[in-house]
Amino acid sequence: MLCIASWNVNSVRKRMHQVERLVDDTGADIICLQETKCSEAAFPAAALAELGYPHQAYAGQSGYNGVAILSKLPLTAIQRHHHCGRDDARHISARVAFGGDTVTIHSLYVPAGGQIPDMELNPKFAHKLKFVDAVGDYFAASHGLRDLAVVAGDFNIAPLPADVWDHRKMSRIVTHTPIEVEALERMKRSLYFIDALREVVAADDPVFTWWSYRAADWQAANKGRRLDHIWVTPALKAHIAAVEILSDVRHWQPPSDHVPVVLKLRARTALETPAGTHHHF
């Protein structure tokens, strides 16, 4: 079994003790982090190695962005990817051995896109859409349809009606607008990715991974969005054993506004075991 956790940690140094709790709770073999918010020189590599993750790939910027892949298993072919002509630490990948094969792991942090869903009025929104298309182009050019690959991260787009608390209202709000959903679908089609969570949770079952800091009681209001995703290539579809949304992590202090998504993949020899999931709301 290979356990992969993905979390927009919203500052890895600020939440190191929470990363330790995540390790204790999940025993994840691989942890993909987004929004690490520190330069590469300031990345807590030694502390994370002491937690059991000596194999690391990370790209950082001081105070914002930043992605990482932490692994108990050796990483090879580490690459930092640049899209839209910017070096803004939003995409890193590495390969790891799994069940006699090699899987490519991507940790991805899509730009938020600002507040106004208009490409002409809001350059941040225009960049977000271009970024998503550029990532899709990269996947199509760099992987074959039979490759084993996992893309985990904060995509900053909630694609399905059940991925937001109110589909009608949110369709006019950045993260759930039709043009963003269409862009994410294009990226998904680049390798015919499988949305791991929706393989085991019905498409009309509300599932959220993000709740605003503005809500006094985020759980009671439950105005969430599913912005964090783990996708796998079709060759890994049959390996999906379980998917979990760790909603209780939103209570950890000080909280990130995102919670982790955990995927468990079974090796070839265990494919007879049925898929399952549990999630907390």
C-beta neighbour count of 183 within 10 angstroms? 22
**Residue 275 backbone phi and psi in degrees, to 5:** -70, 155
Collapsing DSSP states into helix, strand and coil, what is residue 248? Answer: helix
Report which residue type is found at 7. Answer: W
Place of tokens 């009608």: 168
- Give me the percent of the chain exceeding a pLDDT of 90: 90
273 pLDDT more than 80 = no
Q: What is the pLDDT of residues 124-155, one digit of tens each?
A: 999 999 999 999 999 999 999 899 999 999 99
Q: What is the pLDDT of residues 66-118, one digit of tens each?
A: 999 999 999 999 999 999 999 899 999 999 999 889 999 999 999 999 999 99
Q: What sign does the dihedral 32-36-41-47 (CA atoms) show? A: negative
pLDDT at 20: 97
Domains: count for the chain = 1
Q: Find all residues with CB under 8 Å of 109, minimum gap 6, and list them.
A: 8, 34, 35, 65, 66, 67, 89, 90, 91, 153, 154, 156
Mean pLDDT of the residues in the chain: 94
pLDDT at 216: 79
Range of the domain at 257: 2-277
Q: Which two three-digit tokens encode residue 258?
A: 């995102």
What is the total residue count of the chain?
281
277 pLDDT more than 50 = no
Confidence grade of residue 272 (pLDDT, cut at 50, 70, 90):
very low
244 pLDDT more than 70 = yes
275 pLDDT more than 80 = no
Nearest to 129, CA basis, from 64, 194, 187: 187
Q: What is the pLDDT of residues 19-40, one digit of tens each?
A: 999 999 999 999 999 999 999 9
Partners of 67 in the beta sheet?
34, 59
Nearest to 56, CA basis, from 37, 36, 76, 38: 76
**Domain of residue 126, CATH code:** 3.60.10.10
Confidence grade of residue 269 (pLDDT, cut at 50, 70, 90):
low
Which parts of 203-280 are beta strand (E)? 210-211, 224-225, 228-232, 240-245, 261-265, 276-277
Q: Which two three-digit tokens encode residue 225?
A: 């969005």
Nearest to 261, CA basis, from 180, 207, 212: 207
How many angstroms separate the CA atoms of 156 and 173, rounded?
A: 12
Mean pLDDT of 45-66: 96
